[in-house]
A and B are shown apart, each in its own frame.
Chain A
Amino acid sequence: MDKYITAPITEETTSDLKIGDYVYITGTIYVARDAAHKRMTEALDAGEELPINIKDATIYYMGPSPAREGRPIGSAGPTTATRMDKYAPRLLDLGQKAMIGKGRRSKEVIDAIVRNKAVYFAAVGGAGALLSKCIKKSETVCYEDLGAEALLKLYVENFPVIVVIDSEGNNLYETAVKQM
């Protein structure tokens, strides 16, 4: 089912999303991958505040290619979410509501999704040029020294994703393959 939602994403929204839903997101989302997650975790360990407002936040696991002049961003498709499994449960427990990536998630992440009524979306891997067209604004929040791994804030319009793990823990990667 096609659904149009706005970000930040609240629990009211996530509880209405089911696996297989084709969702278009409009609003503000953050971008972080391996190195930025490591730094956020180190900040929490040191008792510091996170550089972003984590409540109801969406984190897109992505590292863009450089933007050409006059464009907000370069190619911008998802990276493998599995690599962020080590960091995700802690952020979900702090209020993060949605993740966008591709690939399988661990049991710990799925448990944290259910516990916090969150959601895991997949964007189409390898469609970075197409997805970049839905990104209207991009600014660096911090960790600029990480290059393609810096933490970004994006404004997206009708950014297309698919619900892979919903707030009840249903997993499209498992059910879709079984049905074929």
Chain B
Amino acid sequence: MRLSTSAIALVVGLLINHGALASELPQRWVSAGGALSEWVVALGGEPKLVGVDTTSQHPATLKTLPSIGYQRQLSAEGILSLRPQVLAGTEEMGPPPVLAQIRSAGVQVEMFSAQPDLQALKSNLEHLGILLGKAAEARALFGDYEQALQRQKNRLVKIQATRQAPGVLLLVGNAGGKPLVAGQDTAADWMLRQAGGHNLATHTGYKPFSAESLAGLSPQVLVFADRALTGEAARAALFKENPILASTPAAKQGRVLEVDPTLLVGGLGPRLPQNLEVLSAGFYPTSSEATP
């Protein structure tokens, strides 16, 4: 090859950019990672998205965009066929050789953190804000987010001064069948803590539960996240497939809560504070609700 790779990359980049030269900012985005895509949408970037991965399920309008497949198994040519200027994703995105090919085709590959902590979110939002030309909005969004979490924290401190954290189990399932229990070091565990629950599962990662140990843990609250069903249908399916759950204190007292499973992937998403509030309310019901 006579031209160096970078020179080719530059030229290809310009070629691909031809429709968007008027603006300095990249106009065609592909986003991989549920929470990340949500933030792009929250910052008004939805019209710029030309493709998302399979974990980007929220808001529902993202599902109408071309799907680039699972974020760990991306296809270089598939993504290039969408003629993006930016591929935004988390460190879970891969495989590495494909990312290298995409980069060499002149596409900006922007990496974000999927760590569930505020510092990571802060730098993610700053980064996104600059790329989308919405730096001020991004700062404001983060400010609100931080405050919302702080309010939640303060509320918790006040409640926990008088009341004990309830023992909770979080089950992730598919139409109720064979649910996995969220253990330590998971996004689900982080969420339970932030909402003021005590995760009874001591293993790490998501593991299938055994009926016997589940009964022994006697959770006061059950939280479920179902990938296929929602609401009453999901609840009914869960108890139909796993009758042992009916014997837990949580089920007897009707303290069975639902979370959206898309909250559990890809770091801190914009819907989190609001969901934490709902969960928290479920963990510490006001006295009138708590009376059976």
The answer to whether A and B come from one shared complex is no
